Amino acid sequence: MAVKLVIVESPAKAKTLNKILGKSYVIRATMGHVRDLPANSLGINIEHGFEPVYRLIPQRKAVINEIKDLAKTASAVFLATDPDREGEAISWHLIEAAKLDKGKAPLHRVTFHEITREAVEEAFRHPRLVDMRMVDAQQARRVLDRLVGYKLSPLLWKKVLKGLSAGRVQSAAVRLVVDREREILAFVPVEYWTIEAELKQKDKKNGSFRAQFIGYERGKKLPIPDKQRCDEIVADLKMSKYSVSAVDRKEVNRQPAPPFITSTLQQEAVRKLHFTAKKTMMIAQQLYEGLPIGEEGDTGLITYMRTDSTHMAATAIDEIRDYIKASFEGKYLPPSARHFSKKVKMAQEAHEAIRPTRAHREPVQIKKFLNRDQFALYELIWKRAIASQMSNALYDTLTIDIKAASPASKKSYLLQTKASSLKFPGFMALYIEGKDEEKDEFDEDQNVIPQLSLGEILELVQLFPAQFFTQPPARYTEATLIKALEQKGIGRPSTYAPIISTILDRGYVYKDGGKLRPEEIGMIVNDLLVSSFPNIVDFNFTAKMEDELDEIAKGKLKWSSVIKSFYGPFDNDLREAQTNIPKIVIKAEEKCPECGGPMVVKSSRFGKFLACENYPECKGKKPLNSGVRNGSQKEAPEGETPTEPCPICGKTMIVKAGRYGRFLACPDYPKCTGKMALGQKNWQKPSDSGNENSKMKASEEKCPECGSEMVLKYGKFGKFLACSRYPDCKTTKRIYKYHGKKVASEQGEER
């Protein structure tokens, strides 16, 4: 009996779908894209309509051959990649690479925003064709980014330093960080003063309270620029008579935040969980694709995590309201459902918000099946979604205006005191949104105000003048940078995390106590791009390009026309820059050990180093210790090229990031397996093999994820078993010695 072939991206997703669809379906994972532009050339035929020249990714050859064979005998082929432009493009590349449209089996595209039985079965009942408009939009983005990267990077190598690179959207993000740093450096503090008055009711010893000086009685604010002006006002206030001029009591509603979209999830995970955007998306992917949950088996726990829509399905809202009704008192459930349909500026995706697939699946019920990070993120998503349908919080607020009439100057001043208290928590009983600011209008005021009546006479107890200085704008954090990118229309849900990872890994930006600061090289590259390629780093232009990609996805623009209109001016700027930009020298603080002259950063085939400005006439040089800044240790950025050569092939080692930190590895790693710890100078090959990761068959075991052979590998802590497709397939097992026999643990990993 012919089976139906289903193709997805990841083994975890395949495993969850296998449980839902049953034995009549064969599910295979591609491990991501199967085709891409070539790594060692531009791969775009500029003279023929910017036609991309795709190549099969070598590591995907085996899975494509397997898919071809399975498709020959399948009764139908279903492409079930992710429901966004990237997923649509993967499906199209699969068709092209495996010639699926040439076979006899009918071809179907299915999409679902949550991996649950109901959603998957509904999707398979209503298949469609691949949407070439979405594919074209993804191709346009890929071609744009390739043109910018492959054309600008060689210019940076020639004019600044080898090993540098530039990106269309990432460069705009670097500019935000650089501009903010320069705002801070140029900031001039301005002095200002405030005055608080401690007042009490007449003829009463206790019950004093504080009021803030505002200005004149009519509400006109009166700035206090210096001590002299402050002393004048204080002298007048000391002689003034005080009375209550207005009492305003109000009940204020505070609405819950909408359910998460990609950007707000990343921002909140930074604030509350201290996750990077990259880590947030990695864990969210695991929750979406499915995890083993007791008797339920592999189950998708959240809806698709790349979205910019706050809309929730009616069935999901009904389920959430049922949960609130069953779990809270009646007043916590509003009379009608709350709808969040507004999308962010220039939104691309049109999915649901990020929410739990089951409202009644409380975090505490599944905590034992999740690791710490998975539980923390699931709890955050679950609470936010449930709280979004709960009643408003209610605050009692009190604002009292106080008149200070000076008989000496004949002036009447206004002082004001405020207090607020939570009357009913509503959604806040479950969840309170994090914030980047120190205080907002709903923060409870600790000021205790006695019962005051209109016209009541008050007595002055003491005045408290205080000097302050204005503060520079705050540096960006990951959360606030994502917020700024979103507000300016730069990037889309799938790009925020890669943008931040890229500018950090390239060494253009670094973290200082969680704040993003530009490296000197980041400022140099930014200034070069601003002066010679203004469109590349112009926020409005970058946002306009994103808008045009959206129009391509809607079928309103042709992708080749968009690329053509961009490339003409860009190519002209590039030609002028090649001629007009002088060589930029990066000077260091160190002095030449030979002649005492200034040292500059240079590069060679072995990486960056410090050399005398007169090198090679003066031979003074030393290694570039990029890990030290102002006496403190900083991690070398991923992708940086120290001077150590690969011990196997001789190529310059680069910094890579692994689960246990950063390490040096061959640029061709894992194909070439040379690697060593940062700072290590000597490398010894494992005695068991001439190649550290030789694919020596260790057992008859098969990979539990993809079915490939398990092979013997070597890691920092010794031998281990891994899938022969590692690192594309992440399955690994530890090897233990027990009574002279080697035993592989079931849940081991490379340590």
Which residues are part of the catalytic machinery? 304
Task: Report the amino acid identity of residue 329.
Answer: E
Q: Which residues contact 108 (CB under 8 A, 6 or more apart)?
A: 76, 77, 78, 79, 127, 128
DSSP 498-563: HHHHHHHHTTSEEEETTEEEE-HHHHHHHHHHHHH-HHHH-HHHHHHHHHHHHHHHTTSS-HHHHH
Phi, psi (deg, nearest 5) at residue 589: -75, -25
Question: What is the side-by-side strand order in the sheet with 587-591?
Answer: 587-591, 598-604, 607-612, 621-623
Paired sense of beta strands 412-424 and 457-469, if any: unpaired
The dihedral of CA 221, 222, 226, 232: what is its sign?
A: negative
CB-count burial class (<10 Å; 0-12, 13-18, 19+) for 504:
buried
Secondary structure of 44-81 in the HEC alphabet? EEHHHCCEECCEECHHHHHHHHHHHHHHHHCCEEEECC
The dihedral sign for the CA sequence 585, 586, 591, 594: negative
Please say whether the beta carbons of 108 and 79 come within 8 A: yes
Residue 114 identity (one-letter amino acid): E
State the CB neighbour count (10 A cutoff) for residue 417: 20
Let me know: does 24 contact 2? Beta carbons within 8 Å: no
Residue identified by tokens 């802590």 is 717
Distance CA(80)–CA(290), nearest Å, equals 15
Contact indicator for 262, 496 with CB cutoff of 8 Å: yes
Distance from the first to the final alpha carbon of the chain: 45
Which residue carries 């001043």 as its tokens? 413
How far is the C-alpha of 320 from the C-alpha of 390, rounded, in Å?
9
